Chain A
Amino acid sequence: MMREDDFVRAAEQYRNMIWRLALHALRSHADADDITQEVLLRLYRSGKDFESEDHLRFWLVRVTVNCCKKVLLSPWRKMEPLEDFQEKLSVLLPERSALFDAVMALPDLYRVPLYLYYYEGYSTEEIGRILRVPRATVATRLHRGRALLRDQWKEEFG
């Protein structure tokens, strides 16, 4: 197990990142809460000796993505309607950009790469290692995601 003070530091520093990533992947506040808890518990129990802060961050992102995949594959998981999600999001972010809503309205295949690329600042190669897909696949998903956003933008704003 991790040392308590190391664990508390990591939990305080990365809880938001884990939650944001889980929210993008699952589009559910409750699931993002569960995933955040699950990932932090795994971190505590892992006993891993991280080489650097980047190593720890990468590990947390990988574990979060894996935990989210498991949830997405669960046969009993019920997808929350987008309208319900946006209603709950309004409590947390009453004023937000239209692009944020547009990203969250995309299929999950595109949301996570866009988040990792545009917010976390990972390269396409790094995202490929996180998602366990070829770099070219990441580039394609980013391209298609942006294209969908552009189409939506044109539709709404001409």
Chain B
Amino acid sequence: MIGGSNLGLTCQHLCKTYPTRNGLITALDDITFSVKEHEFVSIVGPSGCGKTTLLKLIAGLSKPTSGQIIFNSGLSRHQQRTALVFQEHGLFPWMTVLDNVAFGLEMYGMPKRDRRDLAMTFIEKVGLVSFANNYPHELSVGMCQRVGILRAFAADPQILLMDEPFGSLDAQTKQVLRQELLRIWRENKKLILFVTHDIDEAVLLGDRVLVMSGHPGHIREEIQIPIHRPHDPISEQQLELTEIKWHIWKILEEEVLKSLQMPS
């Protein structure tokens, strides 16, 4: 296997175009990058730069117009298990928290008792046991988002794709859930692709940050975050992180200004 890792993935020259009334729109243009096993990669970019499209391609929810996604496992797109976490949690309102968390396992054909037991261990980890038999509408938005993340982790995919999972939450809840995500990730190491428009979030969570820009979406820069988590809030590391954030902001600022002048 490539580099001794059989759980990584590589995207090669991915392009995605959509037909619209005004002709073809290129959402993604020549995206090439690879991610190693257990790596946490953030993808940051302005809205409309095709971040979500990229995740949906990897999740197999749509097909690339050209280019390919190679899983180091050698599995095809349909065999490779991925789990996508959506911005609006996407929980099934007709299932209890327990059944929602167990959904991926159910689709993989795990017997009812086994999958419920396994789902319960995940629910216990975040202290939601008393809500296991509640329906999503009885939960707060933050709780739903956590259940959505649990559903993905419980399915035990080799590859976890997260599409702005904290985008709709308030700042404090976000902060807590980021820590929780890092904790769960440390316990069950997975390859995570984490899409966000929040530079702080990208730098805080990722081992590496891919900076994307839009129209058409492409990767502007890859930045390695040289500091190991948890980041020490008072050390000189902060300076270095601030420099990285400033650097990313400079790239994105250009993009944002461009999009403000351009009627979209």
Q: Do A and B come from one complex?
A: no
Interface residues of A (CB under 8 A from B): none
